[in-house]
Amino acid sequence: MSWSGSSVSFEKEVAIVHAVLMEEMTWPEIRDAMDAGATTVIIPVGAVEQHGPHLALGTDALMGEIDAVELARRLGNALVAPVIRPGISPHHLSFSGTLSLRKETLVMVLEDYVASYIRHGFRKMLFFCSHGGNYDAVGETVERMRKAYPDCYFYPEPDLLELLGTMNGVGSCDGIGPEAVGAHAGDSEASQMLAYFPELVRMERAKAGFLAPFDSSAKKRLFEGGTRSLSEIGVIGDPREATAERGKRYVAATVKLLEKTIRDCDAAAEREKA
């Protein structure tokens, strides 16, 4: 079932989805959009992994699509590819239901996405990781695709630390510290899910998880010992104060940062041409 029919509770978002999300468009609509200049494609790369006792496994895939749709709408010259739902999540595998791809599997899927879209005439691509574990695979793909298709433009990956910093900025406006905003299933993700997919949030089960600074030693523990070595419930952050209203602001801040990255790249490319 299409999520736009059931899960999105805001009429506005449904209308936006139909305008840019290729899975919900017909081929003549896509052809006409491309003829009108929409030759950029945004490919959201998500994850299907545990998000604590309060958020559904699809959090990264679902929110990646929301971000991509909002971004495409703001850019005005982009369409959104079907989300690649599973990602690279070995550190969450000790929790029920988590799905993890091998890096080479994800790279091959990304390559096939690119080949298909280039055949149709798309010329610029952004892989948008809504899950940090995908960055390596996407970075490798971007390098390979730049060599394979020198006439096309592949945007660099948005800076993960800058994205996390942006989330922390939104939290701090409301007195939510960076440890609570969290790197996984904390205030940021819980608020965003409350805003767009409230039926997939169990706030009555929300508990604080790992609350020390998410520094390099915490990251090392996460990737070497798995998420459980930081938190028995699989949470890095504190989702208990999450609100839908702040969730909208987290998304707006993310999209604004992505839009700036894209516009800066476009301006630099124009300067190079001149």
Residue 96 CB, shortest distance to Zn ion, in Å, is 16
Q: Which is nearer to Zn ion, 79 or 133 (CB)?
A: 133
Is the Cβ–Cβ distance between 43 and 81 less than 8 Å?
A: yes
Taking the C-alpha atoms of residue 41 and residue 126, their distance in angstroms, rounded to an integer, is 6
* Gyration radius of the chain's alpha carbons: 18
Binding site for Zn ion (CB under 5 A): 59-60
Q: Which is nearer to Zn ion, 57 or 81 (CB)?
A: 57
Q: Which is nearer to Zn ion, 143 or 159 (CB)?
A: 159
Residue 38 CB, shortest distance to Zn ion, in Å, is 28
DSSP annotation of 100 reads B
Q: Which is nearer to Zn ion, 4 or 59 (CB)?
A: 59
State the angle between helix axes of 103-120 and 135-148 in degrees (0 to 180), rounded to the nearest 10: 40
Taking the C-alpha atoms of residue 17 and residue 140, their distance in angstroms, rounded to an integer, is 29
Residue 133 CB, shortest distance to Zn ion, in Å, is 9
Residue 239 CB, shortest distance to Zn ion, in Å, is 11
Residue 59 CB, shortest distance to Zn ion, in Å, is 5
Residue 41 CB, shortest distance to Zn ion, in Å, is 23
Q: Which is nearer to Zn ion, 59 or 231 (CB)?
A: 59
Q: Which is nearer to Zn ion, 59 or 100 (CB)?
A: 59
Residue 78, H or E segment: strand 78-80
Beta strands in 113-271 (DSSP E): 124-129, 153-154
* Cα–Cα distances in angstroms (integers) from residue 108 to residues 47, 115, 146, 196, 268, in the given order: 16, 11, 15, 31, 29
Is the Cβ–Cβ distance between 252 and 173 less than 8 Å?
A: no
Residue 184 CB, shortest distance to Zn ion, in Å, is 6
Q: Closest residue (Cβ) to Zn ion?
A: 60
- Give me the count of residues in the chain: 274
Angle subtended at Cα 93 by Cα 90 and Cα 145, rounded to the nearest 5 degrees: 30
> What is the SS3 assignment for 50?
coil
* Cβ-based burial of 106 (10 A; exposed 0-12, middle 13-18, buried ≥19): buried
Q: Which is nearer to Zn ion, 59 or 191 (CB)?
A: 59
